[in-house]
Amino acid sequence: MSIDTAPRATPRNGVDIPTLFATLDAVRAAPAAAHFQFRATNQWVEGTHSRSTISDFFGVGEERAHAREFVFQADHPAVLVGHDNGPTPVEFVLHALASCLTAGIANIASARGVTLTEVRSTVTGDIDLNGILGLQDVRNGYQQVAIRFTISADAPEDVLREIVQQSRRRSAVYDVITHGVPVDIEVEVA
Amino acid sequence: MSIDTAPRATPRNGVDIPTLFATLDAVRAAPAAAHFQFRATNQWVEGTHSRSTISDFFGVGEERAHAREFVFQADHPAVLVGHDNGPTPVEFVLHALASCLTAGIANIASARGVTLTEVRSTVTGDIDLNGILGLQDVRNGYQQVAIRFTISADAPEDVLREIVQQSRRRSAVYDVITHGVPVDIEVEVA
């Protein structure tokens, strides 16, 4: 999730640039339109297996819904005492990071008049499970995350590198997972 | 992803407690077994739409694969100039958090001899898109995340609240998104 404010260009890369800039103009005129709330509901299935549903959100002043409801499973693999009904929760964090930076790259490239042929990435997260196992005093989460992009486009290497940097500077997920965010937990016993 | 070290109990909640404790004993004897690397590969499709594949990982000293390959789309909704082929990247962060804390609750409850009837949660993330739009000096990511659990089980309220707290204390995703993690970005131009 990242867009840019460079000079206007014709639509490319599947990005509707006129609408992108019209959205920017609309939010500039009414900044509260940019206040969004995203949501997921989760239901435990059994063991480490649960299922989340993502359907509605709030934005541009009103309740909205995705075109359809999205449902995702999460679980642990057998080696982590689960049944592998879905990726682990920490793997979804990697998908979130790669997809956020990639969407930004496409939007920014389009705004700068660059036509992309391919954007691929591999993202890795190293984790020492002695933390969550309570066996050693190491952090519970990833110790480091690395993402490597391969990009083909009709622009010189320095232009493409700067597009990736601008995507990083405007990425919501990059911000969350590099800087952290306060999380409030409430429990209701039914 | 969270387990606990309380007294052993019979299997419940779909959690294989003997295997869980055998895993703990094995890692205690050979701590390097707990070094894992998780991975996702992402391919841009068009506009803000991309697709991630999650299949292999490293752990317990060797390369491993999930029971099957998992594929996920991400996109923006129309109001954010996308085509809604999947949730936004930031919504996957909410799924990751809810599923990680829920897996921990199930493991810890099982280890403590508590049988769960239901664990549901709703997780919300508030975000001011003036950040990613570059229109105001606000952060790009969520400003706050809140998760509300509803739990039914055969234990008193204080026991259930303590199980949730222990899950929080041992959650990989909670750690990543509250404390942040370094992210290294490399770009190869093809």
**Beta carbons of B40 and B54 less than 8 angstroms apart:** yes
Residues 2-21 of B with CB under 8 A from A: 2-5, 13-16, 19-20
- Which residue has tokens 């280890």? B111
DSSP-derived 3-state class of residue B158: helix
Chain B residues touching A144 at Cβ < 8 A: 181-184
Distance, in angstroms, between A137 CA and closest chain B CA? 11
Chain A residues touching B133 at Cβ < 8 A: 3, 24, 27, 34
User: Cα separation of B18 and B27, whole Å?
Assistant: 14
Q: A105-148, pLDDT tens digit by residue?
A: 999 999 999 999 999 999 999 999 999 999 999 999 999 999 99
**Beta carbons of B34 and A128 less than 8 angstroms apart:** yes
> Which residues does B65 contact at the CB level (< 8 Å), separation at least 6?
B55, B56, B57
| CA angle (A90, A96, A100) in 5-degree steps | 155
**Beta carbons of B16 and B120 less than 8 angstroms apart:** no
User: Cα separation of A107 and A102, whole Å?
Assistant: 9
Local confidence pLDDT in tens for the 190 residues of chain B: 445 544 444 568 999 888 888 889 999 999 999 999 999 999 999 999 999 999 999 999 999 999 999 999 999 999 999 999 999 999 999 999 999 999 999 999 999 999 999 999 999 999 999 999 999 999 999 999 999 999 999 999 999 999 999 999 999 999 999 999 999 999 999 9
Q: Give the distance between the most distant pair of CA atoms in chain B.
A: 60
> Which residues does A1 contact at the CB level (< 8 Å), separation at least 6?
A100, A103, A104, A171, A172, A173, B48, B76, B80, B88, B89, B90, B129, B132
Mutate to test the interface with A, among B5, B37, B39, B52 (most CBs of A within 10 A): B52
DSSP-derived 3-state class of residue B152: strand
- Which residue has tokens 């590099």? A178
Amino acid at A5: T
Q: What is the DSSP string of A142-168?
A: -SEEEEEEEEEESS-HHHHHHHHHHHH
CA A149 and chain centroid, separation? 15
Residues 164-183 of B with CB under 8 A from A: 164, 168, 170-183
| CA angle (B15, B19, B20) in 5-degree steps | 65
pLDDT band of A7, cuts 50, 70, 90: very low
Binary contact (A179, B180; C-beta < 8 A): yes
Using CA atoms, how far residue B34 sits from A124, B7, B145, B175, in Å, is: 16, 22, 29, 17
Q: Which of B49, B141, B59 is nearest to A103 (CA)?
A: B49
Binary contact (A176, B93; C-beta < 8 A): yes
**Complex-level ipTM:** 0.94
Binary contact (A144, B177; C-beta < 8 A): no
**Can you name the residues that pair with B120 across neighbouring β-strands?**
A43, B150
pLDDT for res A11: 65
Binary contact (B93, A186; C-beta < 8 A): no
**Beta carbons of B135 and A27 less than 8 angstroms apart:** yes
Q: What is the DSSP string of A76-90?
A: --GGGTS--SS--HH
Record the pTM.
0.94
Binary contact (B42, A3; C-beta < 8 A): no
> Which residues does B29 contact at the CB level (< 8 Å), separation at least 6?
none
- As a residue count, chain B comes to 190
pLDDT band of A38, cuts 50, 70, 90: very high
Q: Which of A155, A150, A162 is nearest to B190 (CA)?
A: A150
Q: At what angle do helices B172-179 and A172-179 cross, to 10 degrees?
A: 100
**Beta carbons of A121 and A104 less than 8 angstroms apart:** no
